[in-house]
Chains A and B, each alone.
Chain A
Amino acid sequence: AQSVTQLGSHVSVSEGALVLLRCNYSSSVPPYLFWYVQYPNQGLQLLLKYTSAATLVKGINGFEAEFKKSETSFHLTKPSAHMSDAAEYFCAVSHNNAGNMLTFGGGTRLMVKP
Protein backbone atom coordinates (compact mmCIF):
# COMPACT_ATOMS: atom_id res chain seq x y z
CA ALA A 1 0.00 0.00 0.00
CA GLN A 2 1.13 3.50 -0.65
CA SER A 3 0.32 6.72 1.17
CA VAL A 4 1.24 10.37 1.09
CA THR A 5 1.47 12.82 3.98
CA GLN A 6 1.61 16.55 3.48
CA LEU A 7 2.69 18.35 6.61
CA GLY A 8 0.73 21.54 7.09
CA SER A 9 -2.70 21.98 5.56
CA HIS A 10 -2.10 25.74 5.38
CA VAL A 11 1.15 27.58 4.73
CA SER A 12 1.46 31.35 4.64
CA VAL A 13 4.46 33.20 3.23
CA SER A 14 5.23 36.77 2.28
CA GLU A 15 5.68 37.72 -1.34
CA GLY A 16 9.33 37.17 -2.27
CA ALA A 17 9.93 34.64 0.52
CA LEU A 18 10.94 31.03 0.13
CA VAL A 19 8.14 28.54 -0.39
CA LEU A 20 8.57 25.10 1.18
CA LEU A 21 5.76 22.55 1.02
CA ARG A 22 6.45 19.20 2.61
CA CYS A 23 5.57 15.77 1.30
CA ASN A 24 6.46 12.35 2.68
CA TYR A 25 5.43 9.13 1.04
CA SER A 26 5.37 5.46 1.74
CA SER A 27 5.56 2.93 -1.04
CA SER A 28 6.56 -0.69 -1.15
CA VAL A 29 8.14 -0.27 -4.58
CA PRO A 30 10.02 2.58 -6.26
CA PRO A 31 7.47 5.29 -6.77
CA TYR A 32 6.57 7.91 -9.28
CA LEU A 33 6.02 11.18 -7.45
CA PHE A 34 4.09 14.22 -8.57
CA TRP A 35 3.18 17.70 -7.44
CA TYR A 36 -0.05 19.19 -8.73
CA VAL A 37 -1.53 22.66 -8.20
CA GLN A 38 -5.21 23.49 -8.10
CA TYR A 39 -6.57 27.00 -8.50
CA PRO A 40 -10.14 27.76 -7.35
CA ASN A 41 -12.84 26.13 -9.45
CA GLN A 42 -10.32 24.42 -11.67
CA GLY A 43 -8.87 20.97 -12.16
CA LEU A 44 -5.33 19.96 -11.26
CA GLN A 45 -2.27 21.09 -13.18
CA LEU A 46 1.02 19.20 -13.05
CA LEU A 47 3.92 21.19 -11.59
CA LEU A 48 6.56 18.48 -11.81
CA LYS A 49 7.14 14.75 -11.58
CA TYR A 50 9.87 12.39 -10.42
CA THR A 51 10.37 9.19 -12.36
CA SER A 52 13.90 8.19 -11.20
CA ALA A 53 15.85 10.06 -13.89
CA ALA A 54 17.19 12.71 -11.50
CA THR A 55 16.64 13.40 -7.82
CA LEU A 56 16.28 17.16 -8.29
CA VAL A 57 13.30 17.87 -10.49
CA LYS A 58 12.54 21.26 -11.98
CA GLY A 59 8.99 22.14 -12.83
CA ILE A 60 6.94 24.98 -14.15
CA ASN A 61 6.63 28.45 -12.63
CA GLY A 62 10.01 28.22 -10.87
CA PHE A 63 9.11 25.28 -8.65
CA GLU A 64 11.42 22.37 -7.96
CA ALA A 65 11.43 19.31 -5.75
CA GLU A 66 14.09 16.96 -4.47
CA PHE A 67 13.56 13.23 -4.09
CA LYS A 68 15.25 11.91 -0.94
CA LYS A 69 14.88 8.16 -0.71
CA SER A 70 16.46 7.92 2.75
CA GLU A 71 13.90 10.37 4.10
CA THR A 72 11.04 9.18 1.85
CA SER A 73 10.43 12.84 1.08
CA PHE A 74 9.65 14.91 -1.98
CA HIS A 75 9.38 18.49 -0.73
CA LEU A 76 8.39 21.29 -3.10
CA THR A 77 10.28 24.59 -3.07
CA LYS A 78 10.32 27.91 -4.84
CA PRO A 79 12.93 30.54 -4.00
CA SER A 80 10.64 33.55 -4.22
CA ALA A 81 6.87 33.46 -3.80
CA HIS A 82 4.59 35.42 -6.07
CA MET A 83 1.02 36.42 -5.38
CA SER A 84 -0.09 34.21 -8.27
CA ASP A 85 1.30 31.14 -6.43
CA ALA A 86 -1.61 31.24 -3.98
CA ALA A 87 -3.43 27.96 -4.58
CA GLU A 88 -3.76 24.43 -3.21
CA TYR A 89 -0.90 22.04 -3.80
CA PHE A 90 -1.12 18.27 -3.85
CA CYS A 91 1.61 15.69 -3.67
CA ALA A 92 0.81 12.33 -5.23
CA VAL A 93 2.40 8.92 -5.69
CA SER A 94 1.89 6.07 -8.09
CA HIS A 95 3.99 3.15 -9.21
CA ASN A 96 4.33 1.16 -12.36
CA ASN A 97 2.50 -1.83 -10.97
CA ALA A 98 -0.63 0.19 -10.31
CA GLY A 99 -1.42 1.48 -13.77
CA ASN A 100 -2.24 5.10 -13.45
CA MET A 101 -3.75 5.20 -9.98
CA LEU A 102 -2.64 8.27 -8.05
CA THR A 103 -2.69 8.40 -4.26
CA PHE A 104 -2.87 12.01 -3.11
CA GLY A 105 -1.84 13.75 0.04
CA GLY A 106 -4.33 15.89 1.87
CA GLY A 107 -3.19 19.06 0.16
CA THR A 108 -1.56 22.28 1.36
CA ARG A 109 -3.19 25.63 0.81
CA LEU A 110 -0.54 28.24 0.13
CA MET A 111 -1.33 31.83 1.00
CA VAL A 112 0.94 34.65 -0.16
CA LYS A 113 0.88 37.92 1.74
CA PRO A 114 1.78 41.18 0.00
Chain B
Amino acid sequence: KAGVTQTPRYLIKTRGQQVTLSCSPISGHRSVSWYQQTPGQGLQFLFEYFSETQRNKGNFPGRFSGRQFSNSRSEMNVSTLELGDSALYLCASSLEGKGEEQFFGPGTRLTVL
Protein backbone atom coordinates (compact mmCIF):
# COMPACT_ATOMS: atom_id res chain seq x y z
CA LYS B 1 0.00 0.00 0.00
CA ALA B 2 1.49 3.34 -1.02
CA GLY B 3 2.12 5.83 1.76
CA VAL B 4 1.23 9.49 1.94
CA THR B 5 2.89 11.42 -0.85
CA GLN B 6 3.60 15.13 -0.92
CA THR B 7 4.67 17.25 -3.84
CA PRO B 8 6.90 19.02 -4.34
CA ARG B 9 9.47 17.93 -1.80
CA TYR B 10 11.38 21.19 -1.95
CA LEU B 11 10.32 24.67 -2.93
CA ILE B 12 11.99 28.06 -2.98
CA LYS B 13 9.86 31.18 -3.24
CA THR B 14 10.32 34.89 -2.64
CA ARG B 15 8.39 37.13 -0.30
CA GLY B 16 5.00 38.15 -1.58
CA GLN B 17 4.54 35.15 -3.82
CA GLN B 18 2.00 32.42 -3.24
CA VAL B 19 2.50 28.68 -3.13
CA THR B 20 0.38 25.55 -3.41
CA LEU B 21 1.39 22.27 -1.82
CA SER B 22 -0.20 18.94 -2.63
CA CYS B 23 -0.88 15.85 -0.57
CA SER B 24 -2.16 12.45 -1.67
CA PRO B 25 -3.38 10.37 1.27
CA ILE B 26 -3.23 6.63 1.64
CA SER B 27 -5.92 4.98 -0.44
CA GLY B 28 -9.18 4.80 1.51
CA HIS B 29 -8.22 7.49 4.00
CA ARG B 30 -10.72 10.32 4.22
CA SER B 31 -9.10 12.58 6.81
CA VAL B 32 -6.17 14.77 5.81
CA SER B 33 -4.40 17.10 8.22
CA TRP B 34 -1.65 19.63 7.66
CA TYR B 35 1.07 20.66 10.08
CA GLN B 36 3.82 23.26 9.98
CA GLN B 37 7.18 22.40 11.52
CA THR B 38 9.75 25.08 12.34
CA PRO B 39 12.74 25.10 14.70
CA GLY B 40 11.23 27.92 16.73
CA GLN B 41 7.58 26.94 16.98
CA GLY B 42 7.84 23.18 16.59
CA LEU B 43 4.96 21.23 15.12
CA GLN B 44 1.75 23.21 14.78
CA PHE B 45 -1.59 22.11 13.45
CA LEU B 46 -2.85 24.03 10.43
CA PHE B 47 -6.14 22.39 9.46
CA GLU B 48 -7.92 19.09 8.92
CA TYR B 49 -10.19 18.10 6.08
CA PHE B 50 -12.67 15.27 6.08
CA SER B 51 -14.94 14.46 3.15
CA GLU B 52 -14.08 17.74 1.43
CA THR B 53 -15.01 19.81 4.52
CA GLN B 54 -12.70 21.60 6.88
CA ARG B 55 -13.28 19.93 10.23
CA ASN B 56 -10.69 21.72 12.35
CA LYS B 57 -8.54 24.79 11.97
CA GLY B 58 -5.45 25.87 13.85
CA ASN B 59 -4.39 29.35 14.82
CA PHE B 60 -2.91 30.58 11.57
CA PRO B 61 -3.71 33.72 9.57
CA GLY B 62 -6.10 33.66 6.65
CA ARG B 63 -3.17 33.57 4.22
CA PHE B 64 -3.11 29.86 4.91
CA SER B 65 -5.92 27.96 3.27
CA GLY B 66 -6.64 24.49 2.06
CA ARG B 67 -9.10 22.28 0.33
CA GLN B 68 -9.84 18.64 -0.23
CA PHE B 69 -11.07 17.00 -3.38
CA SER B 70 -13.56 14.18 -3.83
CA ASN B 71 -10.71 11.66 -4.12
CA SER B 72 -9.43 12.87 -0.70
CA ARG B 73 -6.34 14.52 -2.18
CA SER B 74 -5.66 17.82 -0.49
CA GLU B 75 -3.91 21.04 -1.28
CA MET B 76 -2.82 23.87 0.92
CA ASN B 77 -2.14 27.36 -0.29
CA VAL B 78 -0.15 30.14 1.29
CA SER B 79 -0.57 33.60 -0.18
CA THR B 80 1.64 36.65 0.23
CA LEU B 81 4.53 34.63 1.55
CA GLU B 82 6.58 35.95 4.45
CA LEU B 83 10.07 34.93 5.55
CA GLY B 84 8.54 33.29 8.63
CA ASP B 85 6.59 30.88 6.45
CA SER B 86 9.80 28.99 5.75
CA ALA B 87 9.13 25.57 7.24
CA LEU B 88 8.59 21.91 6.66
CA TYR B 89 4.92 21.34 5.85
CA LEU B 90 3.69 17.89 6.77
CA CYS B 91 0.55 16.21 5.61
CA ALA B 92 -1.02 13.30 7.49
CA SER B 93 -3.91 11.02 6.65
CA SER B 94 -6.13 8.64 8.56
CA LEU B 95 -9.25 6.63 7.87
CA GLU B 96 -11.84 8.68 9.71
CA GLY B 97 -9.91 10.69 12.26
CA LYS B 98 -10.82 11.07 15.95
CA GLY B 99 -8.02 9.35 17.78
CA GLU B 100 -6.78 7.16 14.99
CA GLU B 101 -3.19 6.80 13.94
CA GLN B 102 -2.20 9.43 11.44
CA PHE B 103 0.24 8.48 8.72
CA PHE B 104 2.62 11.28 7.80
CA GLY B 105 4.14 12.10 4.46
CA PRO B 106 7.79 13.13 4.05
CA GLY B 107 6.87 16.81 3.96
CA THR B 108 7.49 19.74 1.67
CA ARG B 109 10.39 21.96 2.60
CA LEU B 110 9.44 25.56 1.77
CA THR B 111 12.11 28.24 1.79
CA VAL B 112 11.03 31.87 1.46
CA LEU B 113 13.75 34.32 0.41
- Asked if A100 is at the interface of the complex by the 8 Å CB criterion, the answer is yes
The stretch from A11-19, A20-28, A43-51, A75-83 touching chain B is A43-51
CA distance A95 to B56 in the complex (A): 12
Contact of A94 with B42 in the complex, beta carbons under 8 Å: no
A100 engages B48 (CB within 8 Å) = yes
CB-nearest residue of chain A to B96: A100
Contacts of A106 in B (CB 8 A): 42
- Size bin of chain B's contact surface: 20 to 34
Other-chain contact of B99, A42, A43, A45, A51 (Cβ < 8 Å): A51
Residues of A within 8 A of B104 (CB): 36, 43-45
On whether the beta carbons of B33 and A102 are closer than 8 Å, the reply is yes
| B90 near A100: Cβ-Cβ < 8 Å | no
Cβ–Cβ < 8 Å partners of A36 in chain B? 104
Q: Is the CB of A107 within 8 A of B43?
A: yes
- Nearest-neighbor residue (CB-CB) of B46 within chain A: A101
Q: How many residues on the A side are at the interface (Cβ–Cβ under 8 A)?
A: 26
Contact A101 B58 (CB under 8 A): yes
Q: Residue A43 contacts which of B58, B94, B105 (CB distance < 8 angstroms)?
A: B105
The reply on A67 being an interface residue by CB < 8 A is no
Residues in A neighbouring B35, C-beta threshold 8 A: 102, 104
Decide yes or no whether B72 CB sits under 8 A from chain A.
no
Within the complex, the shortest CB–CB distance from A100 to chain B, in Å, comes to 3
Which residue of chain B lies nearest to A50 when distances are taken between CB atoms in the complex? B99
Q: Which residues of B, 64-113, contact A by the 8 Å Cβ criterion?
A: 90, 92, 94, 97-107
Interface readout for A75-114 with B: 1 if CB under 8 Å, 0 if not?
0000000000000001010111011111111110000000
Q: Which residues of chain B have a CB within 8 Å of any CB of chain A?
A: 4, 31, 33, 35, 42-45, 48, 50, 55-56, 58, 90, 92, 94, 97-107
CB-defined A-B contacts under 8 Å, sample of 15: A42-B106, A42-B107, A43-B92, A98-B56, A99-B55, A99-B56, A99-B98, A100-B33, A100-B50, A101-B33, A101-B45, A101-B48, A102-B33, A102-B102, A104-B43
